[in-house]
Structure 1
Amino acid sequence: MSCSSSSRIALGLEYDGNAFHGWQTQPGGSTVQDALELALAAIAGAPVATTCAGRTDTGVHATSQVVHFDTPVLRPESAWVRGVNAHLPEGVAVRWAQPVAADFHARFSARGRRYRYLLLNRPVRPGLAAGRVGWFHLPLDAERMQAGADLLLGTHDFSTFRAAECQAKTPIKELRQARVRRQGDMIVFDFEASAFLHHMIRNLVGTLVYIGKGKHEPAWVSELLAARDRRLAAPTFSPSGLYLAGVTYEPHWGLPETTVLPQVWSLEP
């Protein structure tokens, strides 16, 4: 059924980053955005353009990506969930759909983003969890890593942890959470900020791993922040263990729960 004006719909998505070449559309059509827009078009009967809360790179997963789009057609919310999922490939699924006000914007209305990184810390590489967790073979000291992470909290110039191709207007971001803890063979990193720079979390994880293995003291973090030089920090860590796990919005938008933390893989009884 058509209506006289467009309505705006928000979606919550989860996807396996290994199945796609990142979020943003590419000529080859092998991205999450490409797959989603094709599926939405099948339900809407017309092309649909989407906007996400935070772009993810190849190999980076999402348990709670938020997207909005405009459509001139009326469909039940179930059509935007089960109907769209019927047209999506394995590795991506719509979790919920919600009509929103015309001034809602998945990216610009967001007040914060939350990411979780799962790092398997044992001598043997992952088998069952391959592609879903990062891996480091030498023993890591999670307490030393947390001491370094504590120095990241607050508002800083994160140029040292910014990819060369980053298009953010400013490297100054407010990091609200930087938590590191061990759970069995897994090191769990939780980061929350107003926004993140390109590769920022993977660069932070790489730096904290250097601290955890004893290559540097936790105070190295402060030196890196002050230097504002990407060349001085650790190499960018693998995308395999990184998950976009939450996007924070003001309650008045009326969205469903927008934080879904990935489960910690455990092979222990």
Structure 2
Amino acid sequence: MDQTQDSKFEDSFLPMSSIGSGIGVAVVPDVYCYTDQIVNLVLVGNPSETSEFVLIDTGMPKSAEQIKNMIHKRFGESAIPKAIILTHGHFDHVGSIAALLEDWDIPVYAHEQELPFLTGKEDYPPGDPNVDSGLVAKMSPLFPNHGIDISAHVQPLSSDGTVPNMPGWKCIHTPGHTPGHISLFREQDRILIAGDAFVTVKQESLYKVLTQTQEISGPPRYYTTDWEAAYESVKKLEALKPQLAVTGHGVPMSGKELSTGLQYLVEHFNEMAKPESGKYVN
């Protein structure tokens, strides 16, 4: 493992935490959402029925020990995931993956179009501070945007939509925020793991991030580079009529609040989500 990837994260400016940091909740018995500072990661697996589980995303830099402790509390001291599934490769979703893979010899799966950012071939575009007046947006150029190299572990997800070690779940390509962004959906109970295709907090606002004020919002503006694709992805997810959504940022949302909020986001995407100006707009 190339430890220079971790050192880049260590030396970078990182955003503040939130009141939800360190808190986990089982939204259903086999879907556990855990907040690491400002981002959510998910464990899929029911500890009362099995010792096997999958980890969705790997949180912020410097959080590997915290993540392992959370897993041990839920699944036991010797527990490790069967695999890691990445919704995408931004720093707050892969921040601890290199450190975790030092101890875990397990596969990592991501969409084929995300692999250049996970194999050291490309960096993400830098954050755009001009998309919103919120302080997080203004700080975004300071956030890490480099790719990482986990080529020894990462492999592409199947094009047929199946998800390794997650029977009943479907992988949905939801680009816009990044080229290879994915979401995960289980039709049986209409649970959606949306990543950053949309979120349930206004991620550009430092106050709302800190307080975890709940509201349906589009993908984080400062990192989203293809707004037409982002709109199509939100439409695709709304059409699934999810009953519960765990997003990359914000508190899980369910029921009528989710359905009406998603529908409103689709109908008013340009006003609610898309910035009026910015380097990635048009």
TM class by shorter chain equals under 0.3
Relative contact order, higher structure (CA 8 A, sep 6+): 1
TM-score by length of 1: 0.26
1 or 2, which has the higher strand percentage? 1
TM-score by length of 2: 0.25
1 or 2, which has the higher helix percentage? 2
